[in-house]
Amino acid sequence: MSEQQRDLNALSQVFKNYKAEWLASAVFDFFQEPIYQHELTSNQPCVLYGGRGSGKTTALLGLSYEGFPETPANRRMSSPSELPYYGIFHRVNGISAAEFEGDELNSREWERLFAHYWNLVMIESLTRFARWFIDNEREAINISDKAIYSVASLLLPDSTGILTLETLADGVRAELGALAKKVSSIGDETIGKVSTLGEPVNLFISHLRENKCIGSKGVFYIVDEYENLLTYQQKLVNTLIKYSAPLYTFKVGVRRYGFRTYATLSPIDYLEHPADFVQLTIEEKFTKIEFQKFAKSVCQSRLEQVRGFGGIDLDNLLEKVSLNEEALRLSTESGTVQNAYKIVRETCAKLNCELDIDELDSYILVSYSKHHNVELFSLIRRVEKHWKRWRIHLDNYRYHSLFAIKKGKSGIRKMFAGLPTYSLMADNNIRAFMELIEQAIIHWVNEDPKSDIISAEIQTKAAIYVGERRLKILEGRSLVGNSVCRFVISLGRLFGLMAARTYGGAPETDQFDLPEEYESKSLRGDDAALTIGVLLKEAVMNLALVERTATKPRSPADTKGRDFQIHPIFAAYFAISHRKKRKIRLSERNFLGLVEQPSETIPRMLKTISSDEVEESDLQLDFS
């Protein structure tokens, strides 16, 4: 297929629509069932944790009565009664939820008012569901006038004449309007007659279940963006989550840290995992290989729809380069690596020694010799003598040393290419992966259309572009986005400067943890610790940082620690490693310094880290 026939507009249509919310029904044309789908459809309540773009909403929409029959595997179903379960999807409206707060009422009164609002919203969704069922299979379902009236009596201040789904929907709409007016003048109002949390919903669903076609099938109430509820509101809905099964089951979609309380209205009952709900964390459900396979199939199915891209295999389209090849390409202009190889080869010849090393190994040896002020002759002798240990050392530094080849020079400083690399950079986030693929293709078509593959250089440019664009919008993603953004930029610069030194620091340092006393200070309410806590939470929630369970504890007391890494989607932009490797400890002073005074903090940290870590790296090469 020639480059002229590649339809970039169509590509954007299927690729730029990363958001499930944007795709409307088309989301299901490309629906790829995630590997955790069967866990979602169990009859137990389920909380699905996932960052923005992790595919959480798509997975939940796939459970809904609107979505399920649209998914490719289930399109043969012709009537609602064929569905194996019924999911009713509801996205929490944070702006509406925020109205139920203020010093006009006490907390108990706000709870009562919000419970009424929540009932109205749930009944509105259920009414729509029942209407859909009847419209598509009239004879299969019946909800009597009496049943409707009994629900309305529990829900509305005036249920007179409410005997049909339509009048119930009108009544709910009118009551929501009245509630909005009441909230707008809540300082002058009394609460008045309100419904009791969950009561009308239970009754409505009981009536639905009287119909054979629903009977004992799963009825899921799907709540997406749970983080938009205020903490006390979560407590109310948690109560429903805990006690609504088996009548109906909640499926909750929430960002990490978005589930702010597990309390319920009962002071002694908490939502507990696994007794009360199944907990699924999308990022943890996929292994690296599984995610790559899933992400590839998601993109591949989209590409098939676009003129000029059918039949392309992403694996083949994205060029992969070996570390040595990358080193040679990075030093094409300067010849640094090629020269190092020549010098090392000449030295070996003079010493009459045969070392199985390539150009990149040679570059590392020359860098070592310069940094430690060791004659290359004597270094080569040592390497020959302790070959096995040196081979390990060289392998440890091969990836890291690539960052230093173009130190201080313009252009690409490190390549980020190949499907596995893109997959790791996305960190199990499908939207991030699609963004990388789409940009790689756009850069390819615009810059190198005659080539059959997307070169590593083009892929890197695309990855830098994606990182830069994400950084630009990061500031607007959170109430403290400004500070989060400054922190990430400063930390990225710090790690970037560290990466650009082959020696003078531990290789591939790209994570940090916090001092052991941080948790206790935070619990004591220390201001600085609390500020750091808020920034970290927001940074993780908005995919600026990735939180990992510490795998390399610095001390026995550190086993429960958490490590943080700049989200690998930013790796190309900062020219830092996208892999999870070594960490530094970030003191409170340095953390806040990176936010407030980066120009003073970064050089100070570099100086300290350099002296600490040099010792560490030297220890690995103790030849005495």
Partner 1 sequence: MQGLKFTTCFSSPGRVVFRHDSILLKGAVIDDRGEWSTSCSIPVLDAVEVSGGAFEVLALGKKYSIKLRSPKALEYFILDIKDKFNAIYFDLTTLPHHIWAPTLKLALNLGLEAQAIYAEPIHYTRRNEGFDLSERIQRLKSIPGFASFDDEFEKNFKLITLLGFEGNRFEYVVSKIEPEAWQLFPIIGVPGFQPGFADHVFCQNSVTIEEGRCAQNVRYAAANCPFSLISTLEDIADEDSESLLKIAPLGTKPHALGAFLFGYRSKHRVKYIYDYPVRKMKRSIGLGKVHVYDVYKYLKE
Which residue ranges make up the site for partner 1 (CB under 8 A)? 12, 16, 19, 21-22, 24, 93-96, 98-99, 102-104, 117, 120-121, 124, 173, 176-177, 179-181, 183-188, 469, 472-473, 475-482
* Closest listed residue to residue 37, CA positions, set 60, 3, 65: 60
Smaller CB separation from partner 1, 482 or 551: 482
Q: In this complex, which beta carbon is closest to partner 1, that of residue 173 or of residue 372?
A: 173
CB of residue 173 to partner 1, shortest distance in Å: 6
Kindly tell me which of 26 and 453 has the beta carbon lying closer to partner 1. 26
Rounded CA-CA distance 331/146 in Å is 81
CA distance 367 to 206: 74
* Count of residues making up the chain: 624
Task: Give me the least distance between CB of 261 and partner 1, in Å please.
Answer: 19
Residue number with CB closer to partner 1 (211 or 531): 531
Nearest to 261 by CA among 230, 283, 282, 284: 230
Say how far apart CA 347 and CA 549 lie, in whole Å.
46
DSSP state of 311: T
Q: How far is the CB of 492 from partner 1 (least distance, A)?
A: 16
Q: Which two tokens stand for residue 430?
A: 């499908």
Which residue's CB is nearer to partner 1, number 412 or number 471?
Answer: 471
CB 164 within 8 A of CB 145: yes
Shortest Cβ distance from residue 435 to partner 1 (Å)? 10
Least distance between partner 1 and beta carbon 486 (Å): 10
| Closest distance of CB 284 from partner 1, Å | 24
What is the per-residue DSSP string for 156-192?
-S--TT--SHHHHHHHHHHHHHHHHHHHHTGGG----
Closer residue to partner 1 in complex, CB, 472/589: 472
The smaller minimum CB distance to partner 1, of residues 337 and 541, is found at: 541
Check: CB of residue 141 under 8 Å from CB of residue 133.
yes
CB 414 within 8 A of CB 575: yes
Among residues 320 and 469, whose Cβ is nearest to partner 1? 469
Compute the least distance from the CB of residue 24 to partner 1, in Å: 7
Q: How far apart are CA 429 and CA 52, in angstroms?
A: 8
Strand partners, 85: 218
Question: Contact, 261 vs 127, CB < 8 A?
Answer: no
Widest pairwise Cα distance in the chain: 103
**Considering the complex, what minimum distance in angstroms separates the CB of residue 335 from partner 1?**
36
Is residue 156 within 8 Å of 162, Cβ to Cβ?
yes
Q: What is residue 98's three-state secondary structure? A: coil
For residues 423 and 295, is the Cβ–Cβ distance under 8 A?
yes
13 burial (CB, 10 Å; 0-12 / 13-18 / 19+) is: middle
Q: How far is the CB of 117 from partner 1 (least distance, A)?
A: 7
Please say which residue, 418 or 533, places its beta carbon nearer to partner 1. 533
Q: How far is the CB of 585 from partner 1 (least distance, A)?
A: 29
Tell me whether residue 35 or residue 176 sits nearer to partner 1 (CB atom): 176
Amino acid making up residue 137: E
